[in-house]
Amino acid sequence: MVSTTVDQLDDTPAVKRRDWKIIGLIGAGHSCSHFFQLVFPTLFLPLAAEFGYDFVQLGLLVSVFFVISGLGQASSGFIVDRIGPTPVLRFGLACFVVSGVLIGLSTNYAMLLLAAVIGGAGNSVFHPVDFSIINHRVSSRRLGHAFSTHGFTGNLGWALTPVFMTTLIHLGNWRVAAFGAAGLVAAVLLLVWVGRDLLAGRNETSAKSVAGLGESSSRQAGSAAVDSTPDLAQQSVGRTLVTLVTQPALWGAFFFFACTSIAFSAVQNYTIPMLGDVYGIDKVMAGTTLSGFMLASALGMIAGGFLVGATPNNERTVALSLIVAGGLLIVLASGMLISPLAMVAVGLAGFCAGVSTPSRDMLIRKITPKGATGTVYGLVYSGMDVGASLGPVGFGLMLDAGHAQGPWVGAALAFVAASALAMIIARSVNARTGPQALVS
């Protein structure tokens, strides 16, 4: 007998409440990931004043954090698929708590480096964990909203860190701020522990607890077809890796994330000086414009969640929104706009890029074989770390060489390349599985 899934039940209030509780818990955890990414940067000035570290030493702490995170992200998905996402999620949050406490107790550079390593290890697990839970536990009716909320809460985490940390530094000192960061994450860890039953298992288990058995014969056939596919979680890590790396769609997704990360790195790191050089906008207004880009991107993610359910062709949403974002950056690079319109164009580009995010995550879902959700998301999202490490250096060289608009042009080209990769991924999936790709 085939077990009932959540998607085969009526969309009752109980199912809706359950979905949004899961989405809320995952969003809270993801906000902690983005929050902790900025803990070290917000402590640069007090650490320099306390210990006399230069910015090379301080920057190295952040580099170590992200190198460990990138390496861990590519491998943590294998663990998620084999022991389940909930213990790995608790591990990640616990690492942040330990890292924050260690920062607060630090008396030398070695302790700060160790805190960066532990924090990076914690940060590495969130994409494999979160997307595994979303794909296994949230009804398909709300997958688009789950993906958009996931991205939105990450941006909220980024926005919270400077306010939270600088406030505690002002009220106490940098050690109080570090302990406060650890306490904030500890509170989320407690919430995740209390809600562990919501996050554990797969849709089939949850469906039984909500409404019991009963499905149509056509859905039975569809479920049986999925169940007959090999479950990669039951295979060795080596065989799973071989199976995945031989799939062109997986490599396409990896380079897609690398391209979008390169584009975002150009905008985030160099928009302030470019607005000054090209449009004569002062640093305060340019910084406000960059904040507007991030806020607009977050709003775009929310809007993009509705588009996921409106069309099955997620790749078209991704491609179109990124092409429009790239076109806006080209217009900015041309220098043809007046200053107020240039600021608006930056925000619109952020909104369009944000719209692509939920459809992007749904597209990645389509290339995921059974039993490899965490592994796939971990591998392809590691492309973001690659792009984030390459983009700032390359675009910085452009500016040093006198190409004042170079990063905007490069970001536009990266967005266009990502849109082409999205279409290639979709065609590869359809050629292999037909319109309905298998999902773990």
Q: Which two tokens stand for residue 349?
A: 């580009």
- Provide the greatest CA pair distance for the chain: 70
By percentage, how much of the chain surpasses pLDDT 70? 84
Which CA distances in Å does 328 have to 38, 270, 331, 408, 423?
A: 28, 16, 5, 9, 21
pLDDT tens for each residue of 294-350: 889 889 998 998 888 777 788 899 999 999 999 999 999 999 999 999 999 999 999
Lowest mean pLDDT among 26-30, 116-120, 224-228, 368-372: 224-228
- pLDDT band at residue 211 using 50, 70 and 90 as cut-offs: very low
Q: CA-to-CA distance for 404 and 398, rounded, in angstroms? A: 8
* 3-state helix/strand/coil string of the chain: CCCCCHHHCCCCHHHHHHHHHHHHHHHHHHHHHHHHHCHHHHCHHHHHHHHCCCHHHHHHHHHHHHHHHHHHHHHHHHHHHHHCHHHHHHHHHHHHHHHHHHHHHCCCHHHHHHHHHHHHHHHCCHHHHHHHHHHHHCCHHHHHHHHHHHHHHHHHHHHHHHHHHHHHHHHCCHHHHHHHHHHHHHHHHHHHHHCHHHHCCCHHHHHHHHHCCCCCHHHHHHHHHHHCCCCHHHCCHHHHHHHHHCCHHHHHHHHHHHHHHHHHHHHHHHHHHHHHHHHCCCHHHHHHHHHHHHHHHHHHHHHHHHHHHHCCCHHHHHHHHHHHHHHHHHHHHHCCCCHHHHHHHHHHHHHHHHHHHHHHHHHHHHCCCCCCHHHHHHHHHHHHHHHHHHHHHHHHHHHHCCCCCHHHHHHHHHHHHHHHHHHHHHHHHHHHHCCCCCCC
Specify the pLDDT at position 236. Answer: 53
Q: CA-to-CA distance for 271 and 277, rounded, in angstroms? A: 10
Specify the pLDDT at position 393. Answer: 76
Kindly report the pTM of this predicted structure.
0.74
pLDDT higher for 239 or 313? 313
pLDDT tens for each residue of 93-120: 999 999 999 999 999 999 999 999 999 9
pLDDT higher for 229 or 161? 161
pLDDT tens for each residue of 358-371: 888 888 877 777 66
- pLDDT band at residue 430 using 50, 70 and 90 as cut-offs: confident
pLDDT higher for 72 or 378? 72
CB atoms within 10 A of CB 410: 22
Measured N-to-C along each axis, helices 237-245 and 373-400 cross at an angle, to the nearest 10 degrees, of 50
Specify the pLDDT at position 244. Answer: 60
pLDDT higher for 148 or 312? 148
- pLDDT band at residue 388 using 50, 70 and 90 as cut-offs: confident
Residue 440 has pLDDT above 70, yes or no: no
Domains and CATH numbers, the chain: 6-205 (1.20.1250.20), 232-433 (1.20.1250.20)
Residue 438 has pLDDT above 50, yes or no: no
